[in-house]
Amino acid sequence: MHAPADARQPRVALYWMAISHPCQAVHKMLELKGVEHDLVDVFPLSQRIHLRLAGFRSGTVPALKLDGRRISGSRAISRALEERWGDPALFPTDPELRARVEQAERWGEERLQPVPRRLFRYGVARDAELREWAVRDVGLPFPALSAQAIRPALAWYLRTVEADGRRADTAAVRADLAELPAHLGRVDQLLSDGTLALAPPNAATLQIMASVRLLCRFADLAELVGSHACAQPAHELFPDFGGAIPPFLDRSWLSAPPSESAA
Ligand SMILES: N[C@@H](CCC(=O)N[C@@H](CS)C(=O)NCC(=O)O)C(=O)O
């Protein structure tokens, strides 16, 4: 918890959950800009209720209270932070580069961000061991009982349609896994062409690298993601983003890492 110490600072509160990659991205933005803030923990599966009770129109994290405003969504938040605290900049001043960064940030939010969230929801809803791991990870008491008790809420969250039009069903998960090598290749390309700056990271870098870092946590995907150049900066930017998520995916759905598929 980072309590605002200086009365001249506006009161900033980030509603977040540690496992959420867009929350990690926004938290890093606040840290980079040196903005003192409160962290409000939102319990997984409770966000639609918690955030509405806190006066937000949307029921997703990250959500930010800033100068009395309520701002939901990582892209809206990156812009609000940039407007309020320009330095260090999350967006380049050069118009052509800024357009590239905004396009990458949007792709990161709409196409890449849903992938690890969907995989996790799918796994937790279907795999009893993973469900119990998740319950322990968030610190719920009586893990076996709690893992049973959350099943109706999980079933409900499975129906969420993401920005890419997919829900957490088998067809979508298989499509995600088939597309993942191409997505990671795109991230590597965005890094090498300088769209995703690292020193300091821009809004697209944080949006995308938080997703890559969460993908690295899936034991099923560690080898594939680790074979891409983007894995290292993702670890460097988000060193404390939790431990390995136990395997749950059907091995036959996974794409082989590049060296194996080339053989
Ligand atoms: N794409 C949005 C939405 C983020 C989002 O879906 N957050 C998840 C946690 S990672 C959530 O709170 N979901 C709740 C729900 O779908 O109702 C953003 O970047 O802020």
What is 12-57 written as a DSSP string?
Answer: EEEEE-TT-HHHHHHHHHHHHHT---EEEE--TT-HHHHHHHTT-S
- Domain carrying residue 164: 95-257
E-state strands within 164-209: none
Q: Is the CB of 204 under 6 A from ligand 1?
A: no
For residues 140 and 35, state if they share a domain: no
For residues 162 and 224, state if they share a domain: yes
Distance CA 86, CA 101 (A): 16
Instruction: Dump pLDDT digits (tens) for 32-86.
Output: 999 999 999 999 999 999 999 999 999 999 999 999 999 999 999 999 999 999 9
Of the pLDDT bands very low, low, confident and very high (cuts 50, 70, 90), residue 141 is confident
Specify which residues 16 forms β-bridges with.
41
Tell me, what's the pLDDT at 30?
A: 98
Does residue 5 belong to any structural domain of this protein? no
Of the pLDDT bands very low, low, confident and very high (cuts 50, 70, 90), residue 147 is very high
Q: How far is the CA of 23 from the centre of ligand 1 (A)?
A: 9
Q: How far is the CA of 8 from the centre of ligand 1 (A)?
A: 31
Q: Is the CB of 79 under 6 A from ligand 1?
A: no
Residue nearest to atom 14 of ligand 1 (CA): 60
For residues 222 and 187, state if they share a domain: yes
* Nearest Cα residue to 76 out of 60, 87, 88: 60
For residues 103 and 204, state if they share a domain: yes
Residue nearest to atom 11 of ligand 1 (CA): 60
Residue nearest to atom 6 of ligand 1 (CA): 60
Instruction: Dump pLDDT digits (tens) for 218-259.
Output: 999 999 999 999 999 999 999 999 999 999 999 999 877 665
Cα-based distances in Å from 58 to 43, 63, 125, 211, 226: 16, 8, 23, 21, 34
Q: How far is the CA of 261 from the centre of ligand 1 (A)?
A: 34
For residues 131 and 217, state if they share a domain: yes
Instruction: Dump pLDDT digits (tens) for 73-125.
Output: 999 999 999 999 999 999 999 999 999 999 999 999 999 999 999 999 999 99
CATH number at residue 79: 3.40.30.10
For residues 61 and 177, state if they share a domain: no
Q: What percent of the chain has pLDDT over 90?
A: 87
Does residue 234 belong to any structural domain of this protein? yes
For residues 246 and 147, state if they share a domain: yes
Cα-based distances in Å from 204 to 3, 53, 79, 219: 27, 30, 12, 25
Residue 163 CA, closest ligand 1 atom number: 1
The total domain count for the chain is 2
Does residue 182 belong to any structural domain of this protein? yes
Say if residue 227 is exposed, middle or buried (CB neighbours under 10 Å; 0-12, 13-18, 19+). middle
Of the pLDDT bands very low, low, confident and very high (cuts 50, 70, 90), residue 263 is very low
Distance CA 42, CA 17 (A): 5
Q: Is the CB of 78 under 6 A from ligand 1?
A: no
Residue 59 CA, closest ligand 1 atom number: 17
Q: Tell me if residue 77 falls in helix, strand or coil.
A: helix
For residues 117 and 46, state if they share a domain: no
Tokens at residue 7, please?
């009365």
Last residue of a domain, one of 49, 84, 119: 84
For residues 138 and 208, state if they share a domain: yes
Does residue 1 belong to any structural domain of this protein? no
Does residue 6 belong to any structural domain of this protein? no
Q: How far is the CA of 58 from the centre of ligand 1 (A)?
A: 9
Q: How far is the CA of 13 from the centre of ligand 1 (A)?
A: 17
Strand pairing category for 38-41 and 69-72: unpaired
Last residue of a domain, one of 84, 117, 135: 84
Last residue of a domain, one of 32, 54, 84: 84
Is the pLDDT reported for residue 6 higher than 90? Answer: no
Residue 162 CA, closest ligand 1 atom number: 6
